Amino acid sequence: MRGGVGKRILQAAALTTFLVLFGLTGFLFREGLPALYKSPYEELRFAVHPENPISQLDAGQVRALVRREKKWKDFGGPDTAVVAVHLANIDRYVTAGASLHQIQSTIDSLARLRGVLLALPPNLLPKHTKPLVVHWKGWKEIFFSTQWSPTYEPVPAVGFLPLLMGSLWVSVIGLLVVVPLGIAMAVYAVEFLPKTLYYPVKILWELMAGLPSVIIGFWGLVVVVPWIQKVFKLSAGETALTAGLLLGWMTLPLMASLVEEALRAIPRLLEESSYGLGATQWQTILRLKLPYILPSIATATLLAAGRILGETMVVLMVSGNSPVIAWTPLKPVRALPATLAAELGEAPVGSYHYHTLFLLGVVLFLLTLLLNVSAYLVRPRHA
């Protein structure tokens, strides 16, 4: 029999790998998709004072009231201050160690205030109040809301936009660093580096590719962050720019290796044809070689983008982790994978927060898949 036992072992290994990958992807989707149709406050009931004319609001309006960014008046309600009462702030009104009975009577007396906004489990809700319907807009809330505050009580904000924007800043800056520098490094290694120096340089550059990202993050925190802070006179050096620079630098070995490989694969006769027509070395590089490897450069750029997009540790350490939409790269941002790393450990399994984080994972997975498929589609096909 051909292959025999060895072949079977390899087959089993391949099958296992495939099943595990398939299972993982399935798990990601199974845990992530409920965020699209569940609501974060299914267990809560909202209520207001019976004389309050407002009977329905959407989640963002409730959040604004609780945060005191808006008043009842703004939505056509009474001209009184908002008194929010929910599980996370009940301790403001009762002393520590109060009995359930004492808590209930405190809630009952708070409910008599005209400006009250109650968000409580049904059994704690006082009798003489008016129910308030709070609309949750589902996937629109996730993809169009501009705030990320997934543990905010009683109504969390789970807009992915600030996180997507964070990833976008970091990736764009990273690519602006890695693409030109990676090409330059490869051209230098192939065209100008003396042979005796090539191997030492190449070894260093491969070593750089193997540096654990936490080391790079630490170095960034100690060296690059203060530098950025000083150069741009910022109050904090943890910005999108800092993370982008470090990620671009970190991805350099990958980019440079891919471009170098493509440059070395240019047929020697083609190169000689250019020289034979009276081209200088620079003319040959700029007019023949770089155009020739353009598909490889595109592939390498997409692969580098995938790497930057998926990188977690460095971004977590130096980006400032502020999930607020940044309009300049000198603001702290938070990227997708860093959010997962920072929050997944704290989100109770099965909670709405947990589902949104998995949905974030699904988005990250799809973006990376898109980059890799594009890289495959633009790969070089000549020769």
Partner 1 sequence: MYKVEARSVSVWYGSYKALDDVSLSLERNQVLALIGPSGCGKSTFLRLLNRMNDYIEGFRMEGKLLIDGEDIYSPEVDPVHLRRRVGMVFQKPTPFPFSIYENVAYGLRLQNRLKESQIRERVEQALRQAALWDEVKDNLKKSALALSGGQQQRLCIARALAVRPSLLLMDEPTSALDPISTAKIEELIHELRQNYTIVIVTHNMQQAARVSDMTAFFYMGRLIEYGRTKDFFTNPKHPETLRYITGRFG
Considering the complex, state which of residue 101 and residue 382 has its C-beta at the smaller distance from partner 1.
Answer: 382
13-24 burial, b at 16+ Cβ within 10 Å, e below that, comes to eeeeeeeeeeee
Considering the complex, state which of residue 269 and residue 349 has its C-beta at the smaller distance from partner 1.
Answer: 269
Least Cβ distance, residue 289 to partner 1 (angstroms): 10
Considering the complex, state which of residue 259 and residue 326 has its C-beta at the smaller distance from partner 1.
Answer: 259
Q: CA 334 to CA 133: how far, in whole Å?
A: 33
Strand partners, 102: none
DSSP character string of 299-362: HHHHHHHHHHHH--HHHHHHSB---B--SSTTS-B--HHHHHHHHTTTSPTTSHHHHHHHHHHH
Considering the complex, state which of residue 278 and residue 348 has its C-beta at the smaller distance from partner 1.
Answer: 278
Least Cβ distance, residue 378 to partner 1 (angstroms): 15
CA atoms within a 13 Å half-sphere pointing along the CA-CB vector of 125: 19
Least Cβ distance, residue 279 to partner 1 (angstroms): 5
Strand partners, 117: 48, 84
Least Cβ distance, residue 206 to partner 1 (angstroms): 25
Least Cβ distance, residue 299 to partner 1 (angstroms): 16
Tokens of 274: 């250019």
Considering the complex, state which of residue 187 and residue 288 has its C-beta at the smaller distance from partner 1.
Answer: 288
The alpha carbon dihedral of 353, 162, 322, 152 has a sign of negative
Which stretches of the chain bind partner 1, using CB under 8 A?
195, 267, 269-270, 272-280, 283, 287-288, 291-292, 382
Considering the complex, state which of residue 196 and residue 328 has its C-beta at the smaller distance from partner 1.
Answer: 196
Q: CA 14 to CA 141: how far, in whole Å?
A: 41
Least Cβ distance, residue 204 to partner 1 (angstroms): 24
